[in-house]
Amino acid sequence: MGTNGDNNNNNFLSHNDSIISQFTKQAIPFTQMSEHSNQYGLELLLKLSDPKQNDIVLDIACGNGIVSGEFAKIVAHVTGIDLTPAMIEQAKLLQQEKQLKNVDWKIGDVSNLPFEDNLFSIVVTRYSFHHMLEPKKVLAEMKRVCMNGGKVLVIDVTPDVDKVDAFNYVEKLRDSSHTRALPFSELENMMKEVGLVKLKSEYHDLEMPLEKILQSSFPDPKDVDKIKQIFKEDLTKNNLGVKSHLRDGEIHFYFPVSMIIGNKI
C-alpha cells in the first residue's frame, strides 16, 4: 500500500467507479470549456451524419449533452445516456437553456444498452471510446439498437499508429479514466468487424490549451510537472503526434479528432 489514500483507493475501484469519480469532478469544468463545443467539429459531425426531421437519435456516453443538443435542433427525438449522474445534471441544464423539448436522459452503462434492438435511426458517441475497456462491445451494442438502414457514428481522438503509445501514456497520466485511444485504422476495422458498411469519415484538429485542460481533468498532483515536461519536450520532438506549439507563450496542442460513420443493413 502507498501513502496517498485517495489515489490508492482508486486502484481498488472498478473502472466504472473511476469514470464516475473522474466525471463527477469534471462535470462543471468540462461544461465550461468552450473547446468541447467547437463549432467546426459540431458542423462536421452534422454534415457527415446528415440528420433528418424524422430521425430518432441515441447519444451514448452523452456527458453534458452537447452532441445531443445539436441533433435535437433537427431531429424528432434524442435520448442521451451516460454513467455519471453529474454529467446528466449538466445535460439537463443545457436542455433548459436551449429549451429543447424532444430530449430525454438516462443514467446507465453503455456496455449493455437498456434498449430493445432496432430502435434508433442514428446512434452516436463522441469522445467516449478512449474511456472504454471494451469499445468493440460498445460498438456492437450501438449497432444492435440501431434500426436497419440506420447510421452509427463514432467521434474520437485517433493518434497516429507510431505515436499511439506515447499519446496514451500522457493521456492516462492527465486523466486516470483514460483507457486507450485507437488509431484511425483500428477504429475503422472495428466498424467493419461489427458489420457496419458504407463507411465514411472526416477529420479535424482540435486545438487545446494545455494549462486549461490540466485544470479541468484532475491529474494526480504528483504527475502534473511530469505531464508539463512531456509537452515541453514535445514542442520540438512531436513524439505525441499532437503538434504541440506555443501560443502567447503558453503550450497548446491539437487533438487529432476523427469521425467515422457506417450503415447497418
Task: Rank residues 97 and 225 by Cβ distance to ligand SAM and give the closer one.
Answer: 97
Which grid cell sits at 100?
Answer: 429543447
Interface with ligand SAM by CB under 6 A: which range of 59-67, 71-79, 145-153, 246-254? Answer: 59-67
Residue 62 interacting with ligand SAM (CB under 6 A): yes
Work out how close the CB of 57 gets to ligand SAM at its nearest, in angstroms, rounded to a whole number.
13
Task: Rank residues 86 and 239 by Cβ distance to ligand SAM and give the closer one.
Answer: 86
**Amino acid in position 130:** H
Residue of the chain from 58, 61, 123, 181 that contacts ligand SAM (CB under 6 A): 61
Per-residue binding string, ligand SAM, 74-93, x by CB under 6 A, is --------xxx--x------
Which alpha helices (DSSP H) does the chain contain, by range? 5-12, 15-32, 39-49, 66-72, 85-98, 135-145, 164-174, 184-193, 210-215, 224-237
Q: Rule CB under 6 A: which of 99-158 touch ligand SAM?
A: 109-111, 126-128, 131-132
Can you list the positions of beta strands (E) in the chain?
56-60, 77-82, 103-107, 120-126, 146-157, 197-209, 245-247, 250-263
| Number of neighbours of residue 145 by Cβ within 10 angstroms | 21
Work out how close the CB of 93 gets to ligand SAM at its nearest, in angstroms, rounded to a whole number.
14
Q: Residues in the chain, how many?
A: 265
Q: Rule CB under 6 A: which of 12-51 touch ligand SAM?
A: 19, 23, 36
